Amino acid sequence: MKEKLSQFHTAILIYMIQTGVYVFSITQIEAQYFGTNGWLIVIPIAILICLNIYMMYGVYRLGNGQSIFEILEKSIPKFILSPFYLAISMVWALIGCLVGKQYVLIFQMFAFPTTDPMVFKIAIDVLAFMLLTKGLYNISKASTVFFWCTIWMNLLMLYYLGEFRFERLTPYLFKDSYNMTQGLFHIYLAFMGYELCLLLFPYTDKKTKLFRAVIYGHLVRTISYVILGFVSFGVIGSDMLKVMLFPLLDLLAYIKLPFIERIENLFYGFFLFTTLITLVLYFWAAGESTQRVFPKIKLNVHYFFIILAALLISYIPTVLNRIREWILFLGYIQIGFAYIMPLILIILLLWQRRKKAA
């Protein structure tokens, strides 16, 4: 019998998968699209996500913890589902791949400008494959270790207390905003990853209290974003944030120690842990989907070909702007999946219940 995820490990999984490369630029997005006090936009978006999580909880309750694949296959023919499984697997694999490539390009820009970024990308994919072969339970334990390796970095915000000025926040709310609708999508994407909890149903039991754990992980990520935004707007100001590419790295560069130069490169290295868990979980989700199409093939073989295909595709985008465009496009599909899939599953479960009662 496979070990089930604990509530604590599940909450950390959700937090870690939501901690992607968006954390480096989220305050720039807040300032660019929402203007003064743009950091506050995180709160209503976080509440909206909680409502979406509640929809997923409805699926869990109605289906008594059944796998979403089982729910779909009870009502929809396999020949229709197979193309869908392969398509959503491709989306998840590409998201994981692009998140890793984006991290590598930023790392190369700041630390190793003369090194081929694909060298780092291949190394990260090898680590991801090694972790995937250990199974979800061991991935969750690894993510807990990585969590403690990175969560302390939130305390670095205390370093800026002497530079914080309330006048930089201004008394205005969302003044000088620009294209707020597009900005909402960008901020929403900074939280994506929670939708993978739909795939965790078979890996949990009643003791896990899955959706309580999902909410806890989401709230920790939300609080972290709020603190980062509040400090960034109070230390840098919205006007300066608009022209910064990666405000978090600029904040970290402000920290000076007498025995270390370019300490932001050291801090940036810690984000490899969160990036690794993010891409591992997206590759894992892709494997869960393709396994429904090719059940006789070993799972590790699925992971190998998923990572290999994603790696080959990652050679195509070579600049950060192109990667952002790809991630934004795939992010729209993600958001659609997060809302449409629970709705479809609820309708199918109600229909199955009615059919059974008849």
Q: At what angle do helices 136-150 and 263-293 cross, to 10 degrees?
A: 160
pLDDT of residue 154: 85
Q: For residue 136, which of 20, 6, 296, 294 has the smallest C-alpha distance? A: 6
The encoded tokens of residue 231 equal 């400090």
17-21, 78-82, 108-112, 343-347: which has the minimum mean pLDDT? Answer: 108-112
Local structure of residue 2 (DSSP, 8 states): P
Mean pLDDT of 161-165: 87
Give the integer Cα–Cα distance in Å for 94 and 96.
Answer: 5
In this prediction, residue 320 has a pLDDT band, given cuts at 50, 70 and 90, of confident
Residue 2 belongs to some domain of the structure? no
Per-residue model confidence (pLDDT) at position 171? 87
User: Could you report the per-residue pLDDT of 204-258, keeping only the tens digit for each?
Assistant: 888 888 999 999 999 999 999 999 999 999 999 899 999 888 888 888 878 776 6
1 in any annotated domain:
no
- Domain residues for the domain of 190 are 7-357
pLDDT for residue 303 is more than 90: yes
- 199 within 8 A of 288, measured Cβ to Cβ: yes
103-155, pLDDT tens digit by residue? 988 888 877 777 788 888 898 999 999 999 998 999 999 999 999 988 888 88
- Compute the distance between CA of residue 42 and CA of residue 232 in angstroms, rounded to an integer: 14
Whether residue 306 lies inside any domain: the answer is: yes
Q: What pLDDT score does 280 carry?
A: 94
CA–CA separation, 83 vs 290, rounded Å?
10
For residue 197, the model assigns a pLDDT of 93
Q: What is the pLDDT of residue 259?
A: 61
CB 276 within 8 A of CB 284: no
Q: What is the mean pLDDT of residues 68-97?
A: 93
Q: What is the structure's pLDDT at 1?
A: 47
Q: How many domains does the chain have?
A: 1
Distance CA 214, CA 10 (A): 7
Report whether pLDDT(169) > 80: yes
| Backbone φ, ψ for residue 260 (5° rounding) | -135, 130
Judge whether 285 and 99 are in contact, CB under 8 Å. no
Q: Does 135 fall in a domain?
A: yes
- What CA–CA distance (Å, rounded) separates 29 from 39? 9
193 in a domain, yes or no? Answer: yes
Q: Higher pLDDT residue, 358 or 305?
A: 305
Instruction: Say how far apart CA 49 and CA 14 lie, in whole Å.
Output: 13
What angle, 0 to 180 degrees and rounded to 10, lies between the N-to-C axes of helices 210-235 and 42-62?
A: 170
> Please, which residues bridge with residue 199 across strands?
none
Q: Determine, yes or no, domain membership for 27.
A: yes
Q: Is residue 131 part of a domain?
A: yes
pLDDT tens sequence across 250-287: 888 787 766 666 666 677 778 888 899 999 999 999 99
Please check whether residue 174 is in contact with residue 34, taking contact to mean a CB–CB distance below 8 angstroms: yes
**pLDDT for the residue 218:** 95
Cβ atoms of 16 and 278 within 8 Å: the answer is yes
Distance CA 320, CA 326 (A): 10
CATH number, position 346: 1.20.1740.10
Axis-axis angle for helices 263-293, 7-18 (nearest 10):
110
Residue 132 is predicted with a pLDDT of 93
Which two tokens mark 166?
A: 């309330």
- The pTM score is 0.93
